[in-house]
Amino acid sequence: MPRLVVAALLSLSLSSGTALAATPQIVDQAGDANGLNGQWYDPAMLGKIAQEVRDIFLGGDPFGEGRPTPGSYAPADLRSVTLETEYTRTAVGADGWRHRPTALRIRFRTEDPAAAPHGATPLRLELHATLGPPFPDGCSSAFHIDVEADGTLSFARWFRWEDCRWNTGASWGSFQHPAWTATRGADATEVIVRIPFASLTEEEHALLGPGAALRELQATTQLWPPFTFDVTHRASGFVVGEDVPPDVPCTRDCGR
């Protein structure tokens, strides 16, 4: 799968796209990005995991024998994840407003600017969610973006679903589009992904477009093969477009 360097900047002006000041759906504690404080890992990868922990945190003592609580790798320490709907705001007459959803934004915030350890595989920021209708119960999806050691954002832009059936009969799928972009936030500790609704097919709209329900949200940071630095708690979820303000009816000079 090609790995694309993302260089596009978000346009957040009132005319081209704005969003509410969203409250994060996921908030996570600081100082737990070490794979040892109750995080998940694949037992089959224990040898690699132990080596990664030795190299990054504990200097040859992977399980903290005789040492205090393991350190934390701040560039992989998730602090919050926010989903929000970008929308346009158009004047109608003298006193009305029309709001139209234009894009889904996913904002990952880490303790320090996200980056992989030097010499390691890319750091993966991943968001998991179960899907609401029209997908059956148990459908799951995940989105991920990869970050190199130098902080470059390069990602397989995809959502997938498992244990699902779409009208094609497919039980698994992935999506990519060059219009899906990512950039750093103002203080570099935030990675902002933007998915324009105009880029989505009918199938993708059901997954990511206005009205799509993303439930049981959970985020992870990990190296690949699997070594998970940080896992957040599960959050209730987000319905795409529910945060767009209602239209304001026009009462004066509506014909202009």
Please indicate, yes or no, if residue 37 is contained in any of the structural domains: yes
Question: For residue 245, is it within any domain?
Answer: no
The one-digit pLDDT tens for each residue of the chain (256 residues) are: 333 333 332 223 334 456 555 799 999 989 888 776 555 444 555 555 555 555 555 444 444 444 444 578 889 999 999 999 999 999 999 999 999 999 999 999 999 999 988 777 889 999 999 888 777 777 888 888 999 989 999 876 676 665 566 555 555 667 778 888 889 999 899 999 999 999 988 878 888 899 999 999 999 998 876 678 888 888 889 999 999 999 999 999 987 6
**Inside any domain, residue 49:** yes
CA pair distance 23, 228, nearest whole angstrom: 26
Distance of CA 74 to the CA centre of its chain: 18
DSSP 51-94: HHHIIIIITT-TT-TTS-S----GGG-EEEEEEEEEEEEEEETT
Q: What residues have CB less than 8 Å from 21, skipping those under 6 apart?
A: none
Whole-number pLDDT of residue 68 = 42
Please state the domain count of the chain.
1
In a domain, 8, yes or no: yes
Q: Is residue 51 part of a domain?
A: yes
The CA-atom distances, in angstroms, between 10 and each of 66, 166, 176, 213 are: 48, 32, 18, 24
Residue 230: which of 239, 238, 220 has the closest Cα?
220
Could you tell me the residue range of the domain that residue 27 belongs to?
A: 4-239
Measured CA to CA, the distance from residue 7 to residue 1 in angstroms comes to 19
Does residue 256 lie within any of the structural domains?
no
* DSSP 3-state of 47: helix
Are the beta carbons of 135 and 148 closer than 8 angstroms? no
Looking at the domain assignment, is residue 187 inside a domain? Answer: yes
Q: According to the model, what pLDDT value does residue 12 have?
A: 30
pLDDT on residue 256: 63
Predicted confidence at residue 156, as pLDDT, reads: 62
DSSP structure string for 165-183: --TT--S------TT-EEE
- In this prediction, residue 132 carries a pLDDT of 80
The one-letter code for the residue type at 202 is E
Q: Is residue 248, in this structure, part of any structural domain at all? A: no
Q: Which residues pair with 126 in a beta bridge?
A: 144, 220
Q: What is the pTM of this model?
A: 0.80
